[in-house]
Amino acid sequence: MTAAGDGSDARRGAAYGFLAYAVWGAFPLYFHALKPAGAWEILSHRILWTLVLCALVLLVRRDLAWAAQLWRRPRLGLGVVAAALLIALNWVVYVQAVITGHTTEAALGYFLNPIVTVFLGVVVLRERLRLLQWVAVGIGAVAGLYLSFAAGSVPVIALTLAATFGSYGLVKKKVGASLQAMQSLAAETAVLAPIALALLVILTARGETTFTTDGGWHTSLLVLSGAATALPLLLFAAAARRVPLVTIGLLQFVTPVLQLLCGVLLLGEHMSPQRWVGFAIVWVALAVLTVDSLRQRASRSARLRPGRGDPTGSAAADGSVSINDTADLR
């Protein structure tokens, strides 16, 4: 491919990535529109309609042979189960936060996520951090303590979202890159489908479902939750094949920024001066992580330049990442 073609592909990838993170950033408006449905009902429909959509796509593509390996490889199967439970917990906490007026705290959770991910890398994977990464983790810890003392309580929603999503990514990394994005989403929602069905039965018996009682538009929005889950994932997959990991890392901040703006400007949530200060401390930590990431990429590119340790000038030096190496299922 020509250099011009490479540039065009990279621009398309960046556009796909921005759209994916923008859709995730607009999720507070979507879930807010699903009221009066509760978090457990929304979670159940999201799981079931996502599974239906994934199954249809995989059937059309005749892409079902991969499912057999979940039985032949217990480690992979258990990893899918663990990932499914973690992402389900993340989803229900997030939806509950939005529909109860805590969108800004949910946004804080996704701001904290990169810092928690780095922390998990040290604690679980025994990875060694560079100096600026240690600085960022330290600043993130200060932000958490400040927010706890300023509010008089621990930011449970934010920490739960960051911990569950960070752990989800960790499980995906430990399991390995065996499944593509659509396959992984299908497998995880298939694991959760029996739980989702049981929840709907219980909620229906208690008269707490809204699927058929709040009009056709409400029903349509619940059905479309499957497409809303899968669409940004597919956009993200297209982006991750085309742009460097550093670009993906920078684009991910679009989501919590938009979530914060949705909460404050569109959903009327109040942000105290103390919380703004706490957010500012988190942003400093993210800025430090970003600088470290850019410096590391520049150093790697210099080492792998033709004649500087990589005589072939391989395209792998651009730091690109396969969708199989990532996990973004908000």
Q: What is the pLDDT along the chain (330 residues), one digit of tens a residue?
A: 454 556 677 788 889 989 999 999 999 999 999 999 999 999 999 999 999 999 999 999 998 888 888 888 888 889 999 999 999 999 999 999 999 999 999 999 999 888 888 888 888 878 788 888 889 888 988 988 888 887 677 889 999 999 999 898 888 877 766 788 888 899 999 999 999 999 999 999 999 999 988 899 999 999 999 999 999 988 888 887 787 766 777 788 889 999 999 999 999 998 888 889 989 999 998 888 888 878 877 777 777 666 554 443 433 333 333 333 344 555
Adjacent-strand bridge partners of 320 = 244
The answer to the question of residue 262 being in a domain is yes
Supply the pLDDT for residue 176. 60
Question: What does the alpha-carbon distance between residue 323 and residue 26 come to, in Å, rounded to a whole number?
Answer: 22
Question: What does the alpha-carbon distance between residue 85 and residue 136 come to, in Å, rounded to a whole number?
Answer: 29
> How far, rounded to the nearest angstrom, does the alpha carbon of residue 271 sit from its chain's CA centroid?
24
3-state secondary structure of 147: helix
Supply the pLDDT for residue 323. 31
Supply the pLDDT for residue 310. 47
Contact 150, 274 (CB under 8 A): yes
3-state secondary structure of 152: coil
Contact 106, 28 (CB under 8 A): yes
Widest Cα–Cα separation across the chain: 70
Count of beta carbons in the 10 Å neighbourhood of residue 269: 18
Question: What does the alpha-carbon distance between residue 234 and residue 195 come to, in Å, rounded to a whole number?
Answer: 25
Question: What does the alpha-carbon distance between residue 237 and residue 324 come to, in Å, rounded to a whole number?
Answer: 9
The answer to the question of residue 90 being in a domain is yes
Contact 109, 160 (CB under 8 A): yes
The answer to the question of residue 4 being in a domain is no
The answer to the question of residue 265 being in a domain is yes
> How far, rounded to the nearest angstrom, does the alpha carbon of residue 104 sit from its chain's CA centroid?
16
The answer to the question of residue 207 being in a domain is yes
The answer to the question of residue 330 being in a domain is no
Supply the pLDDT for residue 159. 92
Cα-trace Rg, the chain: 21
The answer to the question of residue 129 being in a domain is yes
Supply the pLDDT for residue 305. 65
Question: What does the alpha-carbon distance between residue 91 and residue 85 come to, in Å, rounded to a whole number?
Answer: 10
Q: What is the residue range of 316's domain?
A: 9-325
Number of domains in the chain: 1
Residue 56's φ and ψ, nearest 5 degrees, are: -65, -45
The answer to the question of residue 2 being in a domain is no
